[in-house]
Structure formats: C-alpha cells, structure tokens
Structure 1
Amino acid sequence: MSQTAPPESGATAPSRLRAAGAFLRRYVALHPVSVGTAVAVLSAAAATGALFNSDAAFVWGAGPLATFASGRWWTVFTALVVPDSAVDAVSSVLLALTVLAYSERLLGSRRTAALLAVTGVAGLLVGIGLHAAAWTLTDLRPVVAAEVPVLDPTTPIAGAVMAASAFATTLWRRRLRLVGFALLALFALYAGDADSWYRLTAAAIGLVVGAVLARGRERRSWHRSSTREIRTLLALLAAVVASGPIVALVSGGGRGPLSLVVDAYTQYDDELLAQCGSVAASVCDEQVALLMTRGAGPALLAITPLVLLLVAAWGLRQGRRAAWIVAVFVLVASAVLPVVSLADGRLRIDPWVDGSGAEYVLWAIASIVIPLALAAALIVARRRFSVRATRQAARSVAVVVTLAFLACATTLFTIEAVGRRAFDRDVSALELIELTLRRFLPPAFTHPGGATAFPHSGPALFAYQWVGVLFWAIVVASILWLYRRVQRPEGDGDARYRHLLRRGSDTLGFLGTWDGNRHWYSDDAECAVAYRLVGDVALAVADPLAPAGRRPEALRGFTDFCVEHGWTPAFYSIHADTLDDLVDLGWRHVPVGVETVMDLPGLTFAGKTWQKVRQPLTRAEREGYTAVWSRWHELSVAQASQVVAIDEEWVADRALPEMGFTLGSLDELKDRDVRLLLAVGPDQRIEAVTSWMPSWTDGEITGWTLDFMRRRTDGPNGMMEFLIAKAALQLQDEGAVVLSLSGAPLADDPDEPADGDPAPLRALLRRLAEVLEPAYGFASLFRFKGKFRPRYRPLALAYRDPLELPAIGAAVGRAYLPDASRHEMVALARTAWEGRR
C-alpha cells in the first residue's frame, strides 16, 4: 500500500531534544572531517586571538616574505587553519559544515582529510610562488604587497570541494564548478587580495586532482541543461558581472586585474583632484563640485547600473523577458560608454611604468569584452526568456515611470530655482534644466566638461543628492512589480477549459491545459479545442471537448476558425472516435503514436505473465522503499530540490533539450490537479518520480494518465515498475477505472500490421522517430510499457490536404523541439548516426 508520511504532532520538548541529539550524532558520524575542520578553525581562532584582534594572528600567516624570507616554514600549515578575523572564522565554519560536508559524502572521510591537506598546502605553495614572481618581475596591480601574510582556512576547503566535484552527479558537478569558480574568480579578479588568488589556485589544483582520482568512472555529458538551468546559470553570470565592481569598491578600489572597471562607478576622480594645483581651474571646479556633493545619495546613483543588473539577474532566473531587456541594455550601455569616453578624450588610461600597455588590455576586458560577451550570450539564448508581463502591467509601469520622472524632475528644478542662493554662482534657467536632467544619470554616463554649478547647502543640496536616487528606486520597484505580473498564455489555467474537462474528458485531454496551448470555444462555450500555433499551422492537441453528439460540430467550428485566421488546421494525437468523425468530413490521416492503457477493475499482478512487474515491486518493498503520493505544492524544500536534481540529471544526459508539446517537463508538475508519486528509500532519498494527470466522467475522476517519469541514474533498478504498479493498485482502490501510461510518440501499434507503402508524412514521421530514438529512446520506452500488458489505442494525425503535409511535418518537429538550435540539430544528427552504427 502506498504511504503518505504523517505529520508529527504533539511532540514534547524532551522528544525534540532527543531527536536533535540523534541528528547531531548521526551528522558527526557521517562527517567527522568536516566537523573536525570547523572545530579546528574555532580553536585556532580562539588560541591566537583572531576572533578579537586580527593583527595578533598575522604571525601565523603565509606569504613570500612571511614564509620564505623570514624562514617561518610552519606558516604553510598554520595559514590553513587560523582565520584572520571573526568574519573569516564564521564563514570558514559554515563552509566546512555545508559544502565540505557534502564533499565528504562524495569522497569519504579519509580522502577528504587527505585532499584538505594536499590541495591546501599545494595551493599555498604554488600561490606564493606565483605571488613572488609577479611581485618581483613587474609592478603588477593584481597582487597585494608581498609583505602582507595570508590567513585563510577556506583555501583547503576550496581545493577539496573542487576535487569532490568529479564524483558528483552531472547536475551538481556542473553547479559546484560553475558557481564555485565564478565566486572564486569574482574575488580574485576584482578584489585581488592574495588570499583570493591562493584560494583560486587551490581550487584549480583540486579540480585536476579530482579528475585524476575519478578516472575510469562512467562519465556523462554535462553540457546539456534545461531551460530552467540555463536561466539560472546566465542569471548567475549577470550577478557576478554586477557584483564584481561592488566587491572592488567595498575592498577600497580593488587590486584585481578587472578592478579598473570600478572607475566608472565612483563619485569623483581622485587622480584629477590630486592634480588640481597644475590643471585647468574649470576641471578643478568640476572635481571639487563632485567632492563636495558626495555622500550616500551620489554613491547609490553611481552604482545604479550595477543595481539594475542585479535586479535583471533576479528576473533572468525566472525567465522574465523584461529582465532580459534590462540586462542587455545595461550591458551594452556599460560597454559602449567607455569606448565613447576614450574616443572623445574624457577618459585617459596611462600605460604602466614598463610601457607594456597591459593596463589597456585589462581595462578593455573588464569594461568592454565581459559586458559584450554576456550580452551576446543573452541574445543567443533570448528564446529562453519568454515569460512576458501582461500588456496592462507593461502600460502601468510605463505610466508610473514617466510620471515619476516628471514629478522628480519638476521637484528638483523647483527646489533649485527657489534655492539659487545655495549655488556658488548665478545660474540661468537653461543651466538648471541641464543640471536637473544630469542628476538622473550616473556620473559615468554624463562626464560634463567645463565649470559645473552645484548647490553647497540646504534643500537644494539634499534634492541634488537624492532626487535621482528616488527616481531609480521607483524604477527598480516597478521592474520587480512587473516580474510578478506574468502574461499567462491562453489556456494555461483557463477556467472555462478546465470546467469542460471536469464535465468529461478522455485520457489525454489534460494536455490542453499546458503552457503554450491556446483554446477555441464554440459560441455557447460548450465545445472546446486546445491547439498549439506553430507558424501558420494550428496543431489541435488530443480530442476536442464536446457534449455527446456535438463533436462533428466542434471539429467544423475549429476548422472554420483556423481558415478565417489563415492557419492550416491539423489534429494531433486523436483517438479513433474523433478520427472517424474527421474521415466523415473528408479528412485524411496518418498514425503518429500509440497510447498504452491499463483497465483497473479486477487488476491483480498474480500469475506468470506479471512476473516482470511483480519482481521489482516485491524487491523494492522488501528493501524498504515506499511509494509516497504528493503534489508539488505539498513537497518540502528538500524534496522539491531532489526532484529538480533528478530532472536536471536526466536533461544533462541528453544530446538535445527537453521535448515539449505532448511530453511534460518539470513545469507541468506544478499544476495543483496533478499528483506525484515518489519512490522514497529508507534513507528518505527520492529515487524516482512520476506525475499523473486526471481525467473525468460526469464530474468524477475516473482515470489517471502517466506523464513525467524520472529516476536517478545511480539509483536501483526497477523503480519505475515499482511506482507504476503501486499507482495502479492505489488508484484502483480509489475507484479509478482507467490508468493510461500515456502515448508513445511516433510508435507503431504492435497489434496492427506495418504499412508497406506509407504516405509521405508517415515516412517523414518514421524517419523522425528513427533519428530521435538514440537521443530519447521512444521505442525502448514503448517496450517498457508493454510489461504492464496494456490495451493499445492508436493515435493519429488528421489533415485536410496532402499539399499541407510539409508545413504540418515541420510544425510537429518544431512543436516537439521548440528550443533546438542549429548546433543542437547537428548534435541530433550525430547522435542518430552513432546510434545506427
């Protein structure tokens, strides 16, 4: 019997303490090295006084002078344990108890301890060597002074984690490496402190060591990501590009090779200010103006582009088109502005003392190449960001932003005009207008020349500093509000369509609720057809919803509707009853798949014919696996994370992106009408997940259709047989009469003779099936479903005119692979060729 974990209730304080104690004992037993590392860091911090006085701990630090010139060889080891501050101690302990603990589970305790020592010491030695060479050979900005010792317990942690990534699953290997190196590179390239470079060096060594240790293990491709994961990774890159200059600003301007970009986000130019004794008075007036009007307001205005990019990164993770527009605009503007400033002489970069001109290269990379490269990546992946706001919301934001600008500009101009005495000289109305407009742009985007009027005190100075910040705060709030006003495609959660579904629907009718489908309704709203518009082809999905006797009327009405709009109608994945009505109307047809259906009344898994199902079911139950029913909104955070990880692992193992149209993905699981059945092991690890869509008769649920099927690649065999068998038995007890294992796209009915002279579209679909088989395994999935002795229901595609077949065939291919690029289609062809050899 399937089980649902009951919530704990009535727990007493002693029982909670016992449970917490048991958890801690189990955690320590599983992660002795991680816990030991955390204890060692805290003990070293307390013993050396680093928690209260960071200067007292530097005697234990490592560096070119501290380790070699002073002969303190032991600092190579103490620098890996002693933190340099309380913040460093806390962050090291947190990392040890989280990511290092995860790495210990992958590597084992002995390997983790060894790798902490090896990668930590190696990272320090190599880092110190490179540090000394860079410091002595040339006057490089990217390195901190060699006499400053380094204390950093996160250095060995970085090395061990990157070594462990070689043993992680595809999804987490990618996440550990991309996120880890992005963060490490962020601090190294922008802040540029020596410990950032040592940490990055240890991580690189750990990556190589992990690859050597993992030789001989089965390797899976990791370049493939789902749309959701691509959005997350691009959002991460946008956040890193935005956070880099902020890190450099917080660290005092930064010493990293890319910290030169920070000059575009400062309130004033220190170098010009220092030269006021020898340069033109007008330039000095401008710099003094910027200096006197500095403060929190101008500082926030200066980093407005970075804030907008961070806000865009948040929206990119959610697939928002508005975020994509903001990100591309800010990145392109940030790259073009330095070029314009350099061309007109407002920006000057001097080569270093050695005349190498390396500073030009670093400045170009930081200010131009990185933003343009990220903007290009976003443009290439633009179809991944298709979640649009409603038109009403977009209009509302446009109105709010416009009114906010007019109100802020009018207020600033009025206050400046009334408070003219606060200026250092008389200003004209034209100068006040120019000054007003400039206060809405970051200083890097204005670069005014000549003398600049500015207020010295009073309300005029306050408005001068804060009105621009207020306007951009309204813009940011408007963008965040816009993210929440999503334009739902017609049919996604459509109340009328769902009402008709509940009145009565076939096993595949729920497909019509999916994202991307539209709906046609009859004049009295009693008939409906769900369809997918691909180019000028309207692909109706599954059978129409219509009362008894009105299906032909619905078919004619939808056809007329398509003709009126200039579309080519086609009915895809329809059953025999609908096909007979279309044949009566003069339509032609071709088989496109087979649905496998189990009739639940009287079903038992007894007898020799059910042996292939009964054995996995019995074995899984004997080993302590349970089938847990749930819905997406009922999952805990840990359970949802496991489901996402299983799905990403499956996607990463494919040479092509996820297919759509009649094949559900993770997004379809979140519908509240969809039930999930999870295979949960004795250790509460989810091994497999399936989703089930309902079908109704006279308002009652009488059937369920299998859609989503995923299992862990490293999990036990037989989990899918276990879940389907459990679902059949449980749903039978609930009164369901039909369990559909869904359609097998492009499959042939084994009970029907093969067509010896297929129509052109049939030949095309068969060829498509052959090409997709190595990548997606439709045929093997169809054979798997045959274990359950199903009843086969042919699915057909109906069309009116053979001349429309090329367009319909192309539409079907594009509907299944909407995000496939040319490169991916080449990968598909290569996969098909390799599968045929």
Structure 2
Amino acid sequence: MDGSTVDTVARSDERSTPAWALRWLSRTGVYVRRNPVAVGFGVLVLITSGMTGGLWGLEVSDTLGWGAASLLTPSMWWTMATSLVIPDSTVDAVLSVLLALTALAVAERILGSARTLISMAVTGVVALFVGAAVQVLLSGTPVVSAAATRATVLDPAIVIAGALMAASGLAGALWRRRIRIVALAIVGMFALYAGDVDSWYRLIAALTALALGLLFARDVPRRPWHRSSTRETRSLVATIVAVTGLGPIAALIAGGGRGPLSLVATSFAQFDQEIVNRCEAQYVRACDHQFALLVTRGVGPALLAIVPLVLLLVAAWGLRSGRRVAWMIAVGVNAALAILATVSVIFGEVFFADPVDGAAFEWALWVISTIGVPVGVLVTLIVTRHRFQVRAPWAAIRALWITTGTAFVMCTLVFLLVESLFPRAFSVQPRVADLFVEAVRRFIPPVFLQGIGEPPYPHRGAALVVYQWIGVAFWLIAVVAILRLYRATSRPVGAAGESATLYRSLLRRGGGTLSFIGTWRGNEQWFSDDLQAAVAYRVVNGVALAVADPLCVPSRASDTLREFAEFAIGRGWTPVFYSIHDDYLPAFADMGWHVASVGEETVMHLPELEMVGKPWQKVRYPLHRAEREGMTAEWTSWRALTPAMTSQIAAISEQWVTDRELPEMGFTLGGMEELTDPDVALLLAVDADGRLRAVTSWMPSWRDGVLVGWTLDFMRREADAPNGVIEFLIAKAALLMKEQGLEVLSLSGAPLAEKPLADGEVAPDPTMLSSFLAWLGGVLEPVYGFASLFRFKSKFHPAYRTLYMAFADPVSLPAIGSAVARAYVPDASPREYVALVRNLLSGPSPTTTGGHR
C-alpha cells in the first residue's frame, strides 16, 4: 500500500468518525495528560478489584487487608499496600474509581502530580499505623466489640481523602474552606454514625493531611481575601445541622451503624426490634405501637420515620442563605427530639437491662447521641440566631400556610374516605373515633408516638396503601412548599421615590456610560450608610444582579463593592456584578472574586472624531444620501412629541416585536417604557413627507453635574425604511454631540461579543466559562444577532471597552446563568419560548440578521 493510499484511508476513517466522538477522544486525552496520577490510580483500583473479585460482588480475602494483626506481624508488611488499592465490594470499587477521577483529580490540579503521590503515601501510611495502634489499644476494652478490633481495612478512599485534604492547604481561600468543611463533615459523619473501621481510618488520614497541607503551604503568600463572616457562620451551622440529619440515615443504611452516635438511628427505624423482643416476655403499652409498626412496615412507613431527618436537611439548605424559617425548623426539630428522648429516659421507656459488659457505657452513648447532640445543636442555633434574619414576605408565608393546610385537610379526607370504604381490611372493626385519631397519627413520625396506644390498623389492600403513604404525601408537599418559600425574600423597607431621586442625584455627580440603566423599572437601589455611594440591582431567583458600574468616587470603589456584597449576603442572596468596566477589576482581584467577559461596549471619543478618509466611507455614504433625499434628524424628548409622533414610534416598535415572534429582551436593553424618562433624549429620522422612519434613544452621563456624553439604547426602524437610516441617525448624533462639546458617545454594549484582536495581540487561553459563553453567543446569533449588531457598530471605528461579570463562587454559575437569562427575558409567553426554540433549531432568520433594533 503506497503513501497516497494510506492518506486516503486515514481521511476516510476521519470522515467516518462522528464529530462528537472525536471531541470526546480529544477531551479525554487532555484529561489524562492533566491528571496522570488520578487516572492511573483509578485504573489500578479497577484492575485490583477485578482480580480479587470485589468488582463482581465476590468476597475479598481479609488477608489482603490491614489491621491490628498486620501491625503485630512484620511478615504481613505487604498488606500496607494492598489495603490502600483494593476495594472490598462492588459499591466500594465504583465509588473509589469515581472519587479518583473527581476528588483526586482536583487534588492533583492543586498539588501537582509529585505532591499528590507524596500526600497519598504519607497520609495512607500514617492512617494505617495510627489506626492499627488504636485497634490494639482497644482490644482489651469491654465496651468495644472484638469484631471491631479484629477488623481489617480495604479502602482506597483513605488515600484519596488524604490527598484532597492536603491539597486544601494550597487551594484558594474559598475552596480551602469548602474542601475542609465538606470533607471533614463527610468523613466525620461516617465515623461517628456508621462507625465502620474504614471510616475511622479515613478520618485519621484526613486529619493527618491537614498538617501536611500546612507544611506544603508554609512558603506560599496568602492573598488578602474578603469573605463575609455572616456567610462563613451560616455555612458552618448549616453543615452541623446537615450532619445531624445525614448521620442517622448513614447509620440506618449501614444496618444500624457501630459509631458512638449510631444509637440515635434506632429512633428513626420503622419499629424497635428491642422492644418487640421484650414484648414477647412482658406486655406494656408500647407493645401495641411496635406491633402495629411491625405489621404495617414498608417503604412508606420507612420514609415517614425519617421525616425529622429530612426536615433537618431542608433546614440546613435554608440556613446556608440565612433563612429565618429554616432556623425555626431546625430549632423545632432538635427541640422536639431532645424533649422526646428526655421524656423517654424519665419514664423508663428506654433502658439497658444489664450494666455489665459495657451496657452502662452504651446507655451513656445513647444519652449523648439522642439528647446531647440535639441540645448542642440548639445551643449553636440560639447563639448564632442573629445570622439568620432573612425573612420571606407575608404573601409567601400565607401561601405556605395555605398550601400545607390544604394538603393536610385533603390528605385527611382521603384517608378517612378510603379507610371507611374498606373496613374489612382491619383485624378489628374500627370505630369512627379510631379513624379520626389514626388520621392524625398518619402524619406523625413513629419516633414521636412511642408508648402511645395504637388503634386498629389495616392488613391489606387500598386501606393499607393509604395507611402507609398518606403521611409521606403530605410531608412531600410541605417540603416542596418550604423550598419554594426559600426563594422569596422581603425587600428593604423604604420609599421608592426617595431612592430613585437620591440615585439620580448621585448619577449627576458622576457615573459610567451605562449607569443610567440603574434608573429603569425592575431595578432597586442600595446606598452606603452615608448615602454617598449607590449600586443598582435586581433580585432574580435569589441572585442579586448589580447592573453597571457603582456610583461612587474612585477612591471608594473597593469599599462600595464589598459593602454591597455584604448587604446581599446578609439577605441570603448571591451577589453578582454585571456589565462592569475594567476600572473595577483590581478591587475584585483583592476580594478574590472571579470575572468573565460578557460583552463589549463600543465608544466614540468625540473631540478626536473626524469622518474623513476611506475607512469612514460606509458611514458618509448613507449620511449624505439621506440628506439629499430630504431626511432630517430631530433631537427631542418624549414629552415634546405630538400624540401623532408617539403613536408612530409605538407602531414601529410593535411591528418590530410582531415580526420577530421572539421574546423581547430587557435588563440592560431598554424598550418603549424607557423612552418616556424625562432625562432620555430621542433622535428621530423623518423623511421629506414628515413620516417617521426610525427612532433612537440616548441615555445621559454626567460628571460633577455637567453633561459629558450620551449612550445609545433604543434603536428601531420601519420595516420598509431606506437602507442606512440607522447609520444616518448615529452619524448625525455624533456630529451634533461634538458641536456641543461633549466628550463621549457610547454605542452601548453588545452581549456575548468579543472585540477584535490588535496587531500582535494573542487571544487568551479559553476557559470552561469562556468556551461556554462563546458557544452560547453562537447559538443565540441566529435569533438575536448580537454579533451582527457588534459588526454594525464597528463601522463607526469605536474604541472597545470590555464588559465583565464578577462573582465570588464558580459553583454559583448555574444559578447566576439562570438568573441572567430570566432578567433578560422575564415575561416571555409560552408562544414566544416556542418561537425561540424553533429559531434556534432552524438557523438564521431574515428578520434577525440585520442587527438593527
């Protein structure tokens, strides 16, 4: 086969391979090159688990694991290696590989490959020796089972946890806190509740890695980083509450658990086997309840039993954003659990018959886990209560009560109806009073009904199904209603008119070319304590979008950004600055925030403006042609227009919207409503017959009370208007503004656009976010023509000013993206969304590629 034939075959294979497959292979290759240790360790775990049978569900030999015997038997030194690379089950193998490809890859990105290997080796060896030493020391203790001291360890997650925690020492402040809190919470939870030996070894490795991380970072300078102490406290308290909710669930999944706090899990089981066994010897009132739970057990009752734990997780989610209602839920659940456990102890419903062989110690652990933990959480919540003051408006609270109340009534009626229709499903004919009592009990988790008598219960059929699931249905509705309440936040109380007036006064003192957007409807204004700085913002889905540059003197820029961020965080919002100029990038860098380009503003500097030479031919030609044809440009305002002229403007705008059948965008793009502002100027194109052919609007910008420029906003023309009419209006505006001695004419921003590179300039390496924004711009181009609009503005040879979005946490990007999308298209109808999707799929539309608004 000659060379040309080989080339032909290669090209043929390339053509036959789908594009998505080539992209996937390319990205996989990049991932492997960047994370050789993570990928290699994942492959090693996969191979060892396959060879030993753990991957296929077979029992792995204990001789491969490490334990107390390994420490006392030097000939078993090789188990030090096998115990850290061989998983003991299918689940363990799958989780280990996934953790290697994610958590270990993150650690390798931060530490580098060499330090990652060192971290894995050091933390693994220390965890094995310390863990085995503890097993040896506890082997003679009666309160620790012999099985625990003889257990061996087979867990690759030990070294993964060690590497990740070591990497936290070199991570940025945000990710350092996040890695440590989440990782320690998870490994600590499994150690305290599930209690298996592997969990304790992982905890030892994680604690060892903290010290190792500090050693790695001893010579690394720490950049000043701003973070709200309020958010820090909220995150810590939320983590504590989440662990107390997830811990018993982990213990239940582990078959009851063996950790020191695992005894609390028995409170959330479907029934208490210990009491059932006692009832066989002696009847007490609690037997009725336990036998009923035993007979009616199933998935529904199991879910009802863990409702308190689910409510703690729901509360933890709200505590992250400072929600008062979440604080109340957490306080209520923990108080109820603590009171219930205390009452059980006082009345002797919980006891350990024989204090010998560690029963007394077990009783003490039960008291700590069921009374001490809730009380400790309660104290923490009470001490930090001032951090959770984000309240929902009364309308949202009323909606919550109406939803839950209606759900309770409807579920109760369904229960009564079904149980009345199928009385033969009961072992004993239920009375009406029995059904009403049981209807209420169906919404109460079993843990709160200990010792209370049990009415008749059903055995089969629809009656049993409703009996098992009606309470779960109610709590599902309640949880969804609570999560919806978290999205509603009361606005600061104040006079909207006074805020708008103060904002405009600061705007006249000095603002950016886009700052006038802050006066638009839908935006609110935040002011500093001395009322000398302001930020315009709007809240969408819990994200506070601050639009355009803040109004403040340059020396206060950093403080203004920080204070607004504190204000937003204090109300449970995620602060984001949108359409910010590069003047503020140093302040965001000091805060440790991230920035991303979201568009380009095109600016004409009027003092140097000269429309001469060949480069300006595309502007001079439509200008001179329009003037020859009798077209005039009228500089005016909405209030000065005649009713006939305002009707023509409305007709042009309505025709534009109707032709597109697409949702009209807002947020940083003005519409008809913004034209009526008394400070906004209009420039109209009127033909020789007095007919309005196009309209543009201009937003003012001031410095020290003096007008220094105008910014183009609204830009629309008649469908049959002459070509070049918009160029005519912009050129006339530029010439008029130059005559008036103004400094700047801004053609406003083009979303998702990128300025052309200067000669010799190299494009920065693409990031995941920049790649996504570039893709999004390409997808939306056939619909909204952002790139076409940007190319149109380039005719005027402007200077380019990049517009940025600044945000604190990359993890919030999905929520931020959703909020920005909702801000731009807040009121789109279903028909418009359908039209949007259809246009995205069909490609460029003749009505959208011109770039004119």
| TM-score bracket, shorter-length normalisation | 0.5 to 0.7
Alpha-carbon distance change, 30 to 458 in structure 1, aligned in 2, over 3 angstroms:
closer
Code of the residue aligned with 1:479 in structure 2: it is I
Which residue, 70, 73, 77 being the options, matches 2:77?
A: 73
- For residues 304-332 of structure 1, give each alpha carbon's deviation from its aligned partner in whole angstroms, at most 9, with x where no partner exists: 11111112222223333322222221122
Query: 1:749-764 maps to which residues of 2 (within 5 A)?
Result: none
Contact 1:35 1:97 in 2 (8 A): yes
Q: 2:445 aligns with which of 439, 442, 446?
A: 442
Secondary structure, aligned partner of 1:152 = coil
Q: Aligned equivalents of 1:77 and 1:170: distance in 2?
A: 34
1:36 aligns to what? Answer: 40
Instruction: Indicate yes or no: 2:108 matched with 1:104.
Output: yes
Q: CA deviation at 1:32?
A: 2.4
- C-alpha contact 1:66 1:147 (8 A) present in aligned 2: no
Unmatched segments (≥5 aa) in structure 1: 1-10, 546-573, 576-592, 599-645, 652-656, 706-730, 737-837
Please give the alpha-carbon distance, in whole angstroms, between the structure 2 residues aligned to 1:663 and 1:482: 17
Residue in 1 that maps onto 2:180: 177
Call closer, same or farther: CA 1:663–1:95 in 2, change over 3 Å.
closer
1:122 aligned to 104, 107, 126, which one? Answer: 126
Distance 1:676 1:152, change over 3 A: farther
Contact 1:144 1:193 in 2 (8 A): no
Deviations 1:608-632 (A, max 9, x none): xxxxxxxxxxxxxxxxxxxxxxxxx
- Match for residue 569 of structure 1? none
1:566-577 to structure 2, matched below 5 A, reads none
**Partner residue in 2 for 1:394:** 397
Find 2:341's aligned residue among 335, 338, 342. Answer: 338
CA displacement at 1:479 relative to structure 2: 1.2
* Residue pairs, 1:232-243, within 5 angstroms: 232-243=235-246
Change (3 A) 1:258 1:209: same
What is the percentage of aligned positions where both structures have the same residue? 40
Counterparts in 2 of 1:341-490, with a 5 A limit? 341-349=344-352, 353-354=356-357, 357-450=360-453, 452-489=455-492
Q: 2:262–2:369: 8 Å Cα contact kept in structure 1?
A: yes
CA shift for structure 1 position 249: 0.6
Pairing 1:559-638 to 2, within 5 Å after superposition? none
- The aligned counterpart of 2:92 is 88
TM-score with structure 2 setting the length: 0.59
| Cα distance per residue 1:55-99 (max 9 Å; x no partner) | 045442222346756953311210101112232222222222222
CA RMSD of aligned residues (A): 4.8
Distance in 1 of aligned mates of 2:379 and 2:700: 50
CA distance in 2, matches of 1:164, 1:336: 42
Contact residue 107 and residue 164 of structure 1 kept, 8 A: yes
1:158, 1:202 within 8 Å by CA — same for their partners in 2? yes
The answer (yes or no) to whether the contact 1:331–1:371 under 8 Å persists in 2 is: yes
Distance (whole Å) between structure 2 residues aligned to residue 347 and residue 385 of structure 1: 35
Residue type of the alignment partner of 2:318: G
Give the match's secondary structure for 1:456.
Answer: coil
Aligned-partner Cα distance in 1 for 2:556–2:121: 58
Task: Check 1:353–1:23 CA distance in 2 against 1; reply closer, same or farther (3 A cut).
Answer: same
TM-score, reference length from structure 1: 0.60
Q: Secondary structure at the match of 2:479?
A: helix
- The whole-number CA distance in structure 1 between the counterparts of 2:430 and 2:466 is 16
Query: Is 2:299 the partner of 1:296?
Result: yes
Q: Deviations over 1:167-194 (max 9, x none)?
A: 2222222222111111001111111111
What letter is aligned with 2:337?
A: S
Query: 1:53 Cα deviation (Å)?
Result: 3.0
Deviates more, 1:405-414 or 1:293-302: 405-414
Question: Which runs of 5 or more residues in structure 2 are unaligned?
Answer: 1-14, 537-549, 587-591, 602-666, 669-676, 682-696, 704-742, 749-853
Superposition deviation, residue 342 in structure 1 = 1.5
User: Which residue of structure 1 aligns with residue 275 of structure 2?
Assistant: 272
Whether the aligned pair in 1 keeps the contact of 2:499 and 2:525 (CA below 8 Å) is no
Deviation at 1:299, TM superposition (A): 0.9
- Counterpart of 1:139 in structure 2 is 143
Give the conservation status (yes or no) of the 8 Å contact 1:311–1:323.
yes
Mapped pair 1:255 → 2:258: yes
Secondary structure of the residue that 1:55 maps to in structure 2?
A: coil
Who is 1:635 aligned against? Answer: none
Distance of aligned partners of 1:295 and 1:69 in 2 relative to their CA distance in 1, 3 Å threshold: farther
SS of 1:118's equivalent in the other structure is: helix
Instruction: Please give the alpha-carbon distance, in whole angstroms, between the structure 2 residues aligned to 1:118 and 1:102.
Output: 18
Cα distance change, pair 665–488 in 1 and its aligned pair in 2 (3 A): closer
Alpha-carbon distance, 1:353 to partner: 2.7
Q: Is the contact between residue 166 and residue 173 of structure 1 (CA under 8 Å) also seen in structure 2?
A: yes
Shift of the alpha carbon at 1:399?
A: 1.7
2:738 equivalent to 1:734: no
Task: Name the counterpart of 1:790.
Answer: none
Query: Which amino acid in 2 is paired with 1:370?
Result: V
Deviation at 1:494, TM superposition (A): 9.8
Alpha-carbon offset, residue 195 of structure 1: 0.7
Q: Given the superposition, is the C-alpha separation of residues 69 and 475 from structure 1 closer, same or farther in structure 2, using an over 3 Å criterion?
A: same
Q: What's the CA shift for 1:118? A: 2.1
**Match of 1:161, as an amino acid?**
L
Maintained 8 Å contact 2:489/2:571? no
Alpha-carbon distance between aligned partners in 2 of 1:102 and 1:341, rounded to the nearest angstrom: 47
For residue 65 of structure 2, what is the aligned residue in structure 1?
61
Question: Any idea what SS the aligned residue of 2:155 has?
Answer: coil
Task: Name the CA shift for 1:338/1:220 in 2 (closer, same or farther; >3 Å).
Answer: farther
1:643-654 → structure 2 map (5 Å cutoff): none
Deviation at 1:158, TM superposition (A): 1.3
Structure scoring higher RCO (CA < 8 A, sep ≥ 6) equals 1
Instruction: Please tell me whether the aligned partners of residues 391 and 490 of structure 2 are also in contact (alpha carbons under 8 angstroms).
Output: yes
Aligned equivalent of 2:546? none
Q: Which amino acid aligns with 1:117?
A: A
Answer whether contact 1:123 1:201 (CA < 8 A) is retained. yes
- SS across alignment from 2:270: coil
Change (3 A) 1:257 1:13: same
Distance in structure 1 (CA, Å) of the matches to 2:156 and 2:407: 49
| Kept after mapping to 2: 8 A contact 1:190/1:259 | yes
In structure 1, C-alpha distance between the alignment counterparts of 2:376 and 2:99, rounded to whole Å: 31
Matches of 2:149 and 2:495, distance apart in 1: 61
- Cα offset, 1:488, TM superposition: 3.7
Task: Decide whether the 8 Å contact of 2:168 with 2:180 is kept in 1.
Answer: yes
- Within the alignment, does 1:315 sit opposite 2:318 as a pair? yes
The residue that corresponds to 1:617 in the other structure is: none
Corresponding residue for residue 698 of structure 2: 700
